[in-house]
Structure 1
Amino acid sequence: MRVVLKLGGRVARDAAVEARALRDGGHEVVVVHGAGPQITAEMERRGITAEFVRGRRVTTPEALAVVRDGLLAVNAQVCQVLGADAVGLAGDEIGLEAEPVEGLGLVGDPIPSAPPAVLDVLADGGIPVVAPLARGPLNVNADEAAAALAVGLGADRIVFVSDVPGVLLDDAVVERLGADEADHLLGDGRFEGGIVPKLVAAIEAARGGVRASIGATEVVA
């Protein structure tokens, strides 16, 4: 089974052990990670205002430099936890493509793809660890990058690992959520913040034929 794990920046180092367990269980594993808290902290240190639109970071050229540094630092940390089989990859260097997003600066919507560098690492029995950047370079949301890779690579499953238990409705975790219903709830503004891009990405993955889960919530087409 081919599995894409998206690790949130807050839990990336600890959650990497899950990737190792899957790999040791005989599965092909691709890791995509974020670095949101680290990037925001460094931007604040440098006096750069962090601005978000529907959970996505507005990225100026100045901010992009911070984003790249933060992502590559987390990438190295995750690879260290995973061990010698892990291979760190920067998305913009391996050909990850994205469509520029108007109004967000140097931000792109990732396009489903199967970068040869990722396939080569898998073929060698390793674990590709991908930092979510695209050609340009463009900053791409890690959740959406993970979904695009999952669809492009024909993954069997994508798991969004974060510090939230799942999709919450009325303070309760939803065990199963249809893509159409999720779209409707998003349109009604029932969700805000970081869960929005996770849910959008899970919907795209599910509609692309990949089993998707956010914590304990399964999103189905």
Structure 2
Amino acid sequence: MPDTRNTIIRLLQNIGSRKEVDQYLKQFSSVDSKRFAVIKVGGGILIDELETLASSLSFLHRVGLYPIVIHGAGPQLNAALDEAGIETERIEGMRVTPPAALEIARKVFQSETLRLVDALEQMGTHARPITNGVIEAELLDYDRLGLVGEITEIHTEAIESSIRSGCLPILGCLGETPSGQIVNINADVAARELALAIEPFKIVFLTPTGGLLNQHGQLIDSINLAEDYDFLMQQDWVHSGMRLKLQEIKQLLDQLPHSSSVSITTPGQLARELFTHRGSGTLVRRGEEVVCHSSAENLDQARLRELLEACFDRKLLDNYFSAKPFYRIYLTESYRATAVLTLEDGIPYLDKFGVTQKAQGEGLGQSLWLRMKQENPRLFWRARTENPINSWYFQESEGTYRSGPWTVFWYGMSDFDEIKQCIDIALNMPATLYAHGVSEN
């Protein structure tokens, strides 16, 4: 296993830096094995991307991680019911399940569970099908819905036994009553209740789209619910399934530890989403509110100094907070991400942008940046040419100019004279950090 683990870690470095990979492996390995992740797989994924899914799950297993996988089988069940001549009826989004339909559903779910287990085993990954003993339920409304269950309890013993034996637990979403009657359970509801019982570090929804999309059809890479939820729910383009999904995710995360998060991605991008800061899907966290301050007077300057010095790995000048007035200071509640702005000839200048490593993985920096950009329609800043986040700065800016050790960035400006003025200001800005190896004394 150590040789295999090291090989996989080296492969992971193809999608992210060693620093990122090590950081996430350390985070994931620090939690109890069963609390790493709950992964919900749609039935369509099992039809179209079974091999890719099995490969991604095997990848996790080989670095010692044990996600709990729960799958649906909606398209497969629809096809089987059609073939049997049984009409599918839905009431308030729930599938009406008479006994004849449940008999078919049981066979379909068992078959799909075994297909995934077989695919994993063929790749050398031990997996265990768990078809009962986990989801306890009671009949919701037999007269209206038939054999549809409402979950009353989640039993984790079979899951824990599977993980202790070195096997990935694979669950369908059928439940059973205390008397042993099998009942149909909505897959999203089953995944939610399983997550509430397990309290995992990650909840992952694998979908064909690979995440939530904005009004332009582009992937939203991260959502900080504390900062973004109300704004998103006011947008005309957030409707129907996306609106419902956001509401469900918020309700779920509100009941879980603050460290829990939801990722929406594709099977093929699962490792990138889990092991890199930028990810490859939509990461949703409860997050933190970003507060804008007009000065540093009422801030904990010692904490802010500590944050900036940790991010830049250099000491701030002693008089940093008193040398000149600040225009705006954006700061997350936990003092883990900040943007410090001054006003230079009437134009906002980004003097410092700092985000801790962990906060980068949580999307706090992106959330803070979006807030800053909304409230500052034009901005300029500089960064050393070797700055590791310059690639991101290039994406976020509308223009750049390189001179010596500095690259100047800006957005929201088109007047040549104004841009030239900003470049001159940025290049002549006095240092606010001590050089490496130079004592602040």
2:137 matched residue in structure 1:
98
Residue 175 of structure 1 pairs with residue 221 of structure 2: yes
Tell me the amino acid that sits aligned with residue 146 of structure 2. Answer: G
Per-residue Cα deviation, 1:63-115 (whole angstroms, up to 9, x for no partner): 1112111111100000001115100011xx21412354344332234356342
How many equivalent residue pairs?
Answer: 215
Tell me the amino acid that sits aligned with residue 139 of structure 1. Answer: N
2:169 matched residue in structure 1:
128
1:5 matched residue in structure 2:
39
C-alpha displacement of 1:6: 1.1
Are residues 146 and 74 of structure 1, via their aligned partners in 2, closer, same or farther at CA, if it must alter by over 3 Å? Answer: same
Are residues 85 and 121 of structure 1, via their aligned partners in 2, closer, same or farther at CA, if it must alter by over 3 Å? Answer: same
C-alpha displacement of 1:189: 8.7
Are residues 197 and 70 of structure 1, via their aligned partners in 2, closer, same or farther at CA, if it must alter by over 3 Å? Answer: farther
1:202 matched residue in structure 2:
249
2:158 matched residue in structure 1:
117
Instruction: For 1:161 and 1:55, locate their aligned partners in 2 and report how far apart those are by CA, in whole Å.
Output: 21
On the 8 A contact 1:35/1:70 being kept in 2, the answer is yes
Instruction: For 2:115 and 2:151, locate their aligned partners in 1 and report how far apart those are by CA, in whole Å.
Output: 24
**Bigger shift: 107-116 or 140-149?**
107-116
C-alpha displacement of 1:120: 0.8
The 5-angstrom pairing of residues 44-193 of structure 1 reads: 44-53=82-91, 55-83=93-121, 85-90=126-131, 93-102=132-141, 103-111=144-152, 113-136=154-177, 137-170=182-215, 171-177=217-223, 178=225, 181=230, 190-192=239-241
1:217 to 268, 272, 282: 282
Instruction: For 1:157 and 1:134, locate their aligned partners in 2 and report how far apart those are by CA, in whole Å.
Output: 23
**Bigger shift: 144-153 or 196-205?**
196-205
Instruction: For 1:47 and 1:138, locate their aligned partners in 2 and report how far apart those are by CA, in whole Å.
Output: 21
Query: TM-score, normalised to structure 2's length?
Result: 0.44
SS of aligned partner of 1:174? coil
Instruction: For 2:76 and 2:93, locate their aligned partners in 1 and report how far apart those are by CA, in whole Å.
Output: 16
Instruction: For 1:64 and 1:189, locate their aligned partners in 2 and report how far apart those are by CA, in whole Å.
Output: 35
> Deviating runs (4+, > 4 A) in structure 1?
179-185, 195-201
Query: TM-score, normalised to structure 1's length?
Result: 0.83
Are residues 175 and 73 of structure 1, via their aligned partners in 2, closer, same or farther at CA, if it must alter by over 3 Å? Answer: same
Instruction: For 2:247 and 2:97, locate their aligned partners in 1 and report how far apart those are by CA, in whole Å.
Output: 20
Instruction: For 2:59 and 2:126, locate their aligned partners in 1 and report how far apart those are by CA, in whole Å.
Output: 13
Backbone CA RMSD of aligned residues: 2.9
Instruction: For 1:219 and 1:54, locate their aligned partners in 2 and report how far apart those are by CA, in whole Å.
Output: 27
Per-residue Cα deviation, 1:110-137 (whole angstroms, up to 9, x for no partner): 3563420111111222101011111132
On the 8 A contact 2:233/2:243 being kept in 1, the answer is no
Per-residue Cα deviation, 1:19-65 (whole angstroms, up to 9, x for no partner): 11111122121111111111000111111112334554222222111
Identity of aligned residues (%): 28
Tell me the amino acid that sits aligned with residue 45 of structure 1. Answer: E
Instruction: For 1:140 and 1:119, locate their aligned partners in 2 and report how far apart those are by CA, in whole Å.
Output: 22
Instruction: For 2:247 and 2:185, locate their aligned partners in 1 and report how far apart those are by CA, in whole Å.
Output: 13
State which structure, 1 or 2, has the greater radius of gyration over its C-alpha atoms.
2
Per-residue Cα deviation, 1:133-184 (whole angstroms, up to 9, x for no partner): 1113221122221222222123111111121222234334333343865995
Instruction: For 2:39 and 2:282, locate their aligned partners in 1 and report how far apart those are by CA, in whole Å.
Output: 15
Question: Larger relative contact order (C-alpha < 8 A, sep ≥ 6)?
Answer: 1
Tell me the amino acid that sits aligned with residue 68 of structure 1. Answer: R
Q: Specify every segment of 5 or more residues in structure 1 that has no aligned partner in the other structure, as ranges.
A: none
Tell me the amino acid that sits aligned with residue 145 of structure 1. Answer: A
SS of aligned partner of 1:32? strand
Instruction: For 1:189 and 1:107, locate their aligned partners in 2 and report how far apart those are by CA, in whole Å.
Output: 30
Q: Specify every segment of 5 or more residues in structure 2 that has no aligned partner in the other structure, as ranges.
A: 1-27, 29-35, 266-280, 287-441
On the 8 A contact 1:97/1:111 being kept in 2, the answer is yes
On the 8 A contact 1:112/1:149 being kept in 2, the answer is no
Are residues 50 and 197 of structure 1, via their aligned partners in 2, closer, same or farther at CA, if it must alter by over 3 Å? Answer: farther
Tell me the amino acid that sits aligned with residue 143 of structure 1. Answer: D
On the 8 A contact 1:4/1:158 being kept in 2, the answer is yes
